Structure 1
Amino acid sequence: MNNGLKSVIAKAEELSAIAEPLRFIPGMGPVSVAMLLAEMPKLGPMTATEAAAMTGLAPMAHDSGAMRGKRVISGGRRSLRHVLFQAGLAAACHNPVLKAVAKRMKERGKPHKLVIVAIARRLITIANAILKTGVPWRISSAA
């Protein structure tokens, strides 16, 4: 076996080891985890704010004209943001911690898309924390 193939196999095993704890987060499916690892190879050492900004889920201020006081998401990696939005939809229904967060936000009258983006941002924060600390997902860990 040549050295190139050995390095590819080693890299695949390393990515598999990184992906394993992320699969236990309710709402994160195999596509979400694969996109996260492909688009954000440095996930773990970065801060939660950096991770949210890199995915394009951080609120950006546009305080001029008609948008004064409004925040929008933009920038970052667009394809990853789209996948995490779908993961946020799933997590809002199937993740017990994030389901409660989504319910509270809806009760306060927040728009549906804002709720899902907030859940997606929390998902990326949870994934970053899991990779940073090495502690697997537990319901009490995200509360």
Structure 2
Amino acid sequence: MLKRRELQALVTRRQQVVAMVTMEKNHLHSCETWVRLSIEATIAQLEAQLVELESRLAQVSAQRPQWQERLAILTSVKGIGPVISQALLVQLPELGQRTAKQIAALVGVAPFNHDSGKTPDSATQIALRSPQRAFGSRQGVRLELRSLLYMAAMCAVQHNSVFRDHYAQLLQRGKPRKVALVACIRKLLGILNAMLRTNQPWCEQPVPLAATATN
């Protein structure tokens, strides 16, 4: 339990430091020389912290063989690297133990209907905050994790034929790009959920989601 708490703390802290590095880099534009030097020094300090955090994270995770096995399964998917896979294991421990719909709801990418049911076309609506605002937790939704998955889905669409084709099909059907990307996140979560449940790494014909669904 202690190791798990430390892993969670390390993963969370790394995300915080990465966010701070990004924020400082955004301040580099149109600033005076002295201010630029100050910002660059801060970035260097933060990046040094990232190196230390990565080292400690590797040490702690190496002491958990099961953790390493699950990481190997997740990272077998193009678009899922060590950062997102570690975040998934820490922030979404239910992955591999719930249905695809339940996992999507926990992350906040499950489709929903407006309460009134009176949308113009009665179509299912999907909501996703922008990544810049998706930090914190509200009503049990893993908003910070959803932000990472947003980036992972964009990477998967670019480098993974399964998600690239799925995204293209949705666009051809007239779906807005943001809605199509959220659908890709949901598909990605469903596949990862099935992979962990069956302990199978990625293949071009991934584990059928229906075969592993439970109520």
Letter in 2 for 1:58: A
Q: How far is the alpha carbon of 1:142 from its aligned partner?
A: 5.8
TM-score, normalization by structure 1: 0.84
1:53 aligns with 2:105: yes
Q: 1:20 aligns with which of 63, 67, 72?
A: 72
Contact 1:97–1:142 under 8 Å retained in 2: no
Partner of residue 159, structure 2: 94
Gaps of at least 5 residues in structure 2 are 7-59, 129-138, 209-215
Q: 1:109 aligns with which of 174, 183, 198?
A: 174
Change (3 A) 1:59 1:65: closer
- Whole-Å separation in 1 of the counterparts to 2:126 and 2:114: 8
1:72 aligns with 2:126: yes
Q: How far is the alpha carbon of 1:63 from its aligned partner?
A: 3.4
- What are the Cα deviations for residues 35-85 of structure 1, in whole angstroms up to 9, with x where unaligned? 111111121111111111111110122132875635133662100111111
Q: How far is the alpha carbon of 1:94 from its aligned partner?
A: 0.8
Q: How far is the alpha carbon of 1:131 from its aligned partner?
A: 0.4
Higher strand share: 1
Match of 1:28, SS state, is coil
- Whole-Å separation in 2 of the counterparts to 1:11 and 1:43: 21
Partner of residue 82, structure 2: 30
Partner of residue 199, structure 2: 134
Identity of aligned residues (%): 34
Match of 2:168, SS state, is helix
Q: How far is the alpha carbon of 1:107 from its aligned partner?
A: 1.3
Contact 1:36–1:80 under 8 Å retained in 2: yes
Letter in 1 for 2:156: A
Letter in 2 for 1:125: G
Q: How far is the alpha carbon of 1:13 from its aligned partner?
A: 2.9
Larger RCO (CA within 8 A; separation ≥ 6)? 1
Gaps of at least 5 residues in structure 1 are none
Match of 2:126, SS state, is strand
**Which has the greater radius of gyration?**
2
TM-score, normalization by structure 2: 0.58
Partner of residue 42, structure 1: 94
Letter in 1 for 2:108: G
- What are the Cα deviations for residues 109-132 of structure 1, in whole angstroms up to 9, with x where unaligned? 210101111111111111100000
